[in-house]
Amino acid sequence: MTKFSIRTATSADSGFLVDMLMEAMNWLPERNWSRKEILTNPELAHYVTGWMQPGDFGVIAVDLADRPVGAAWCRYLTAADPGYGYVSDDVPELTIGVVESWRNRGVGRALLRAVLYVAHDWGLQAVSLSVERANFAARLYASEGFHTVESFDDADTMVAELAGRRLPGGVRSFVQSEPLTVDELHQQKD
């Protein structure tokens, strides 16, 4: 049985967020962005450089030995330095990554629900992201309430509207100290 827990991201997680940005960027087997390439590319580095800035928030999935296995975080980017999923200065952009050996175990869905809960709890109206259409994560985002607001050649900008939205039952329990099994996660899906 796969067990993990989710905790709040801290400034100490900055290095792991770079690792998860690499996982997100290298979802295609033929891609191999290095840490150095990501950190020297302004279009990618702005998702992690200087973590935690005011307004940044996120969650980290950890295994039973407290090793991080995934992360989801939001950062406000501006029209002067927009991200791939930029929609406006007042909508933070979500980035999510899961260690390859932990994919398809419910970690990504749990992270997504947890970070959306935090955003909702903070009173945010929406969260955006960018996803390539061929990425299997696009189906996850759609199943969790994201909708496409802009399309490009092979990628979409998606938004989850949070105002008035009913989040999945029990989502508060995702940010907890007790590990959840995949079965427990699926039971919490509305």
Q: Cα–Cα distances in Å, from 20 out to 53, 75, 148, 164?
A: 18, 15, 23, 30
Q: Does 59 score more than 70 pLDDT? A: yes
The whole-number average pLDDT for the span 116-137 is 91
**Surface-to-core class of residue 100, CB atoms within 10 Å of its CB (0-12 exposed, 13-18 middle, 19+ buried):** exposed
Note the pLDDT of residue 29.
78
With cut-offs at 50, 70 and 90, classify the pLDDT of residue 167.
low
Note the pLDDT of residue 109.
93
Domains of the chain: 3-187 (3.40.630.30)
Note the pLDDT of residue 165.
67
Q: Cα–Cα distances in Å, from 142 out to 40, 57, 91, 136?
A: 31, 22, 18, 11
Note the pLDDT of residue 179.
43
Q: Does 33 score more than 90 pLDDT? A: no
